[in-house]
Structure 1
Amino acid sequence: MNNIVRRVSETDAVPLSWGRLVWLIGEKETPGAEQTLGVVTIEPGKRNPLHFHPNCEELLFVMEGEADHKLGDEMFHITAGDVIRIPQGVPHWAQAKGDTPLVAVISFSAADRRTENLEDTGDIA
């Protein structure tokens, strides 16, 4: 695989207790990239841990499913076709609702996106 075209079907998923991540573009995956792009899946009824990104903002575009998304002190319900902007440094999590997984494209404004977990799930992503 090269630095220009990457395929989800040819990229290993990172399994997590709440779902999985597929990293497509980023400093590690594609040297020279200036952003990070991935696909997150959250299983029905599960949520990722409360966390924040100290060096970048995140955009999350919902492809399938729905979720409640806690962003700072606010809660938002997001569904397929919605996008949410998560400012740098703001704690957040998403919980999949309904019977289907939440599948979303996630984009970060830095190739070396960093994540600081505020809850311990034992996951390393």
Structure 2
Amino acid sequence: MTSTQPKLKVNVSEAFPNRRRGGDIRVCLSPKTVGCTSGFGGFVELQPGEFVSEHYHPYSEEFLYVIEGQLEMTVDGTVITLAPGDSLWIPIGAKHRLVNNTSAPARGVFQLAPLAPRPELGHVDTEPQPNPDSPHPEVGGAK
């Protein structure tokens, strides 16, 4: 790769762990990491009992694909159980909360698009964050 070629590949181990809303969320592909312009995506891991606090995206729809374990996503009050191989679409503006109610870790990949006009407008929290003081970069970044 030359200095004029954009970075195309990011390994999850390079992504900063964001634990602010709960779990281990790692934005791998984003405007900050690879220069993409239409959305961002990454990896989420929840240990038993962990959750991602309720929030919504006023500009983006979200897509979640479960690769391991079992998760429950509550979307606008409706609980949806997800297992490996399941995909879920979360519409723009839908409040959602993700939880692992099992005794085993669960992992998934997510994507959000389109981007909000500015990173700080991308998420609106509707419940307290479990780790509000946890450091996190705006929409991804390297460790």
Q: Could you say which TM-score interval applies, normalised by the shorter chain?
A: 0.7 to 0.9
Gaps of 5+ in 1: none
Range moving further from structure 2, 89-98 or 28-37 = 28-37
1:20 counterpart residue number: 24
Give per-residue Cα distances to partners, 1:77-123, cap 9 Å, x unaligned: 11111011000000010110211122110001124461111111243
Q: Which amino acid aligns with 1:99?
A: S
Q: Which amino acid aligns with 2:112?
A: F
Partner of residue 116 from structure 1, selected from 106, 124, 129: 124
Identity %: 22
Partner of residue 75 from structure 1, selected from 72, 75, 79: 79
User: In the TM superposition, what is the alpha-carbon distance from 1:46 to its structure 2 partner?
Assistant: 1.9
Partner of residue 101 from structure 1, selected from 96, 101, 105: 105
User: In the TM superposition, what is the alpha-carbon distance from 1:18 to its structure 2 partner?
Assistant: 3.1
User: In the TM superposition, what is the alpha-carbon distance from 1:16 to its structure 2 partner?
Assistant: 4.1
Q: Which amino acid aligns with 2:72?
A: D
Task: Name the TM-score, length of structure 1 as normaliser.
Answer: 0.87
Give SS of 2:100's match.
strand
Any conservation in 1 of the 2:12–2:28 contact (CA below 8 Å)?
yes
Task: Name the TM-score, length of structure 2 as normaliser.
Answer: 0.77
Larger radius of gyration: 2
Range moving further from structure 2, 29-38 or 13-22 = 13-22
Misfit runs of 4+, over 4 Å = none
Any conservation in 2 of the 1:18–1:43 contact (CA below 8 Å)?
no
1:35 counterpart residue number: 39
Any conservation in 1 of the 2:60–2:115 contact (CA below 8 Å)?
no
Partner of residue 50 from structure 2, selected from 43, 46, 52: 46
Q: Which amino acid aligns with 1:44?
A: P
User: In the TM superposition, what is the alpha-carbon distance from 1:73 to its structure 2 partner?
Assistant: 2.5
Gaps of 5+ in 2: 137-143
Q: Which amino acid aligns with 2:96?
A: H
Number of residue equivalences: 125
User: In the TM superposition, what is the alpha-carbon distance from 1:10 to its structure 2 partner?
Assistant: 2.5
| Root mean square deviation, CA, Å | 2.1
